[in-house]
Amino acid sequence: MILAGDVGGTKVHLALYGFDHGRLSHVRDEKFPSREYAGLKEIVREFLIESGDPEVTAGCFGVPGPVRGGRLKLTNLPWVLDSRELSRDLEINHLFLINDLEANGYGIAELEPEQLYELSAGAPGSVGNQGLVSAGTGLGEAILVWNGKMHVPMASEGGHCDFAPRNEIEIELLRYLQRTLKGRVSFERVVSGQGLTNVYTFLRDVKGMEEPDWLRERMLAEDPNAIIGELGQEGSNELCATALDIFVSAYGAEAGNLALKVLALGGMYLGGGIAPKILKKMRDGAFLRAFADKGRLSDLLVQTPVRVILESRCALMGAAAYADARAAELTGESTRAASL
């Protein structure tokens, strides 16, 4: 059995996988509220006990941030994760930590066609590097390098690069965020869950767009981003619709930036939890117009395939695939190969 994890500041998502005829086979998964536990080990132990204490041959956790020497200090939790300590204390011989977007990248190869939505087909038979941009709680980015045989994911912290406004409204938004954040503004401050709320607040407080009493009450009582997405896609509220327009356009622009930087001839993938929830808006053309608006290189972006990842367990699938592959390198035995 393979143990896979997707570790976040809000929740830890764990899963068990096997293999069936060479393909990942989902056994069980569960989500745990991160802040209610002292550390990752406690969560894993609880999950494995609830799962009947299966024999785990290898494991991998996708974690937010750069992993150095198998070690990571989380920024949103008072946890320090060390792969060697986890391996010893959980009694799992082969246990690995990789960046969460790297895990997503490994998961892409495991997806079925119906787990993706094609925003743009691009040029037929496109082959080459790929890019991954995931807007969720934060903004994650990764590079999938084409080595002539397969795509090899590489971690990145590109979501923390400087926000680059492209028009007057975005310039005003940048100045507003510089004041409220008291300094530098990254793309994550605009293209993420917190970013969508930032855009909404800017339009309300600086541009003077009306927030009706009923909307203010809903924003206080419910998930603000879910409300903005719902009403923005419906077009039933101008403030939410405008906020969503700006958000999606900035998302498209940054995806296009990454596509240029890595020469993503093989395509761009959009991960994270936001894109599938606002798929109607993602399809209306605003994202792709911003994605391809790159001056002399616009035609290159038009020919780049763009796909939305619909499968919420993509990072878990990637972590499981990575765990088996790395364990096989170390032992010469692969659970995947044995299932064929």
- The tokens for 33 are 């509220």
Distance CA 74, CA 100 (A): 12
- Report which residue type is found at 120: S
pLDDT tens digit sequence for 304-322? 999 999 999 999 999 999 9
CB 98 within 8 A of CB 67: yes
Domains of the chain are 2-107+313-338 (3.30.420.40), 112-310 (3.40.367.20)
pLDDT tens digit sequence for 145-201? 999 999 999 999 999 999 999 999 999 999 999 999 999 999 999 999 999 999 999
Report in angstroms the alpha-carbon separations of 140 from 88, 118, 157, 210, 239: 30, 20, 7, 32, 27
The pLDDT confidence band at residue 108, using thresholds 50, 70 and 90, is very high
pLDDT tens digit sequence for 72-82? 998 778 999 99
Instruction: Provide the pairing of β-strand 130-135 with 267-271.
Output: parallel
Rounded to the nearest 5 degrees, what angle is found at the Cα of 279, between the Cα atoms of 275 and 280? 150
- The tokens for 175 are 């100045």
